[in-house]
Amino acid sequence: MTTHLRNAFAGWMAALGPFGASPDLGVAVSGGPDSLALTLLAMDWARVAGGTVTALIVDHGLRREAAAEAEATAGRVARLGVRTRTLRLHGLLPGPGTPARARRARLDVLEAAAAEIGLAWLLLGHHSADQAETVLLRALTGSGPPGLAGMAARRETLRVALLRPLLGATPGELHAFAAAAGLAWVTDPSNADPAFTRARLRHWRADSEGQGVAASALDEAALAAGRARSSGEAERSRSLALRVSLYPAGFARLTPGPLAPAALASLIRALAGSGFAPSEARIAALAARPRPATLGGVRLLPAGRFGPGWLLVREARAMGPPVPAIPGLRWDGRFRLTASACPPPGARLGALGGGAARLKRHSSLPAAVLATLPALRVGEELVAVPHLGYPGAAECARVPVLFSPNEPAGGAPFAVMD
């Protein structure tokens, strides 16, 4: 079993590459048997590849025992010879939607830590039974075909590549592997709490080893849906590459003619910095006949001097409020200060807004774009608009503010413009 799983893991990782020479991997370690097995497998794989592994452990703070469990897990992993870093969530409280909120918060802090350390890949311990539960849960909530593909084995975010190499492994195999290595693990009681939907589905399936007929059927369905999703994403990317020009100021130009609804949905999500697309019916109608409209926080306008077609511009009144100008921080889901930025003390990053009129001479951009540009203010004083080079030679005018389109679910047709 041990040799079989190690060989299988090498194959799964090969399918998720390439990784280059001496890859440095991050592994999200919850302290359970799945993530501990992943750590051991990743250690062996990285050793052969000449790379390293860093274990990232999150203390979610939802239970009194959480801090002690995180500390114990860090000790177990460190004894394996793996570097560890313990991360703590703050302000996460029990209540409605706790598992989903905790997953989002945990993934956010894991991604941030991986980026800070300089890890390009973050491995997650989801296995075949997790995939089966995801597909079942999405089916029960009316998800469309892309959602029924379940979790992607590899997903690029703005900060790191998320890898799930264990989707082909059952929990029974992973538990046996961890036990054979003599590892002790933490059991989270929330995994069996019937107050949570996933726990009820787990109880209903009555298949703790993840080797039953139902789990296999759901995983096969996810693979088939995943192949269809990948094909659709490739077509969408080709369409966007041919039809769309993205500009660092956070807007796009679309050439004339209809566009596939999925492609338009991805474009709108990216330009709005949103994780959600507008309704399928509204997207389909606008994609079939592009015209002046506002949808999903994005405006469609005639392209004018930019040539034939349409400009897609962020809707000014839908933009996020100003935020502290902290290097690395993202604003409005679209722009971020680079880590090397040194904004003035007390500065905030927000929309240029009404200040656009007096700065029109600094740029030939349309007024609708100017108003949505990121600007730095200290109090009410406008101190910099980086995209315009305003105010000229001043140091704060050179603070890098980058347009970073959000990654649409299931694939990333846009690269970070960095």
pLDDT band at 311 (very low <50, low <70, confident <90, very high): very high
Distance CA 156, CA 405 (A): 12
Q: 244, 242, 241: which is closest to 300 by C-alpha?
A: 244
Distance CA 397, CA 235 (A): 40
Region 389-393: what's the mean pLDDT?
73
Q: Is residue 261 within 8 Å of 287, Cβ to Cβ?
A: yes
Residue with tokens 């394996």: 80
pLDDT band at 397 (very low <50, low <70, confident <90, very high): low
Average model confidence (pLDDT) for the chain? 83
Region 62-86: what's the mean pLDDT?
89
pLDDT of residue 275: 66
Distance CA 42, CA 53 (A): 7
- Which residues, 6 or more positions from 154, have their beta carbon under 8 angstroms from its beta carbon? 16, 161, 162, 163, 164
pLDDT of residue 393: 53
Other CB atoms within a 10 A radius of the CB of residue 372 amount to 27
Q: Which tens digits make up the pLDDT trace of 109-134? A: 899 899 888 899 999 999 988 888 88
Q: What does the domain layout of the chain look like in residue ranges? A: 2-228, 239-317, 319-403
Provide the 3-class DSSP secondary structure of residue 280.
helix
Distance CA 128, CA 218 (A): 9
Distance CA 195, CA 185 (A): 24
The percentage of residues in the chain with a pLDDT greater than 90, rounded to a whole number, is: 40
What is the CA 2 to chain-centroid distance, rounded? 32
pLDDT of residue 151: 86
Please tell me the CATH code under which domain 2-228 is placed: 3.40.50.620
Q: Is the pLDDT confidence value at 320 over 70?
A: yes
Q: Which residues of 71-90 are buried (b: 16+ CB within 10 A; e: fewer)?
A: ebbbebbeeeebebbbbebe
Q: Which residue has the higher pLDDT, 15 or 357?
A: 15
- Max mean pLDDT among 79-88, 234-243, 267-276, 333-342 falls in 79-88
Distance CA 277, CA 265 (A): 6
